[in-house]
Amino acid sequence: MKDPFIGVWILDPAQSQYEFGQPPASGTYQIAPNERGYTITMVWETAVGQSMEMAYESIPDGKKYPYENPAVAEAVSMTRVSPNQLDSATFKGGQMIAHASRTLSSDNNLMTVVQSSQSPEGKTFRNLSIYRRQQKAD
- Mean pLDDT over 120-134 rounds to 93
Beta bridge partners of 38: 33, 58
What is the structure's pLDDT at 138? 47
pTM: 0.90
What is the structure's pLDDT at 77? 96
Residue partners of 130: CB distance under 8 A and separation at least 6: 11, 12, 15, 16, 110, 111, 112, 113
Domain spans in the chain, listed from the N-terminal domain onward: 7-133
Residue partners of 100: CB distance under 8 A and separation at least 6: 87, 88, 89, 113, 114, 115, 116
Closest CA to 77 of 53, 58, 100: 58
Report pLDDT digits (tens) over 6-55: 999 999 999 999 999 888 999 999 999 999 999 999 999 998 999 999 98
CATH tag, 7-133? 2.40.128.20
Q: Backbone dihedral region of 15: left (phi > 0), alpha (psi from -120 to 50 degrees) or beta?
A: alpha
Give 137's pLDDT tier (boundaries 50, 70, 90).
Answer: low
Q: What share of the chain is helix, strand, coil (3-state, %, to 5)?
A: 0, 55, 40
One-letter amino acid at 101 equals S
Report pLDDT digits (tens) over 49-72: 999 999 889 999 999 999 888 888
Q: Which is more confident, 107 or 68?
A: 107
Has residue 1 got a pLDDT over 70? no
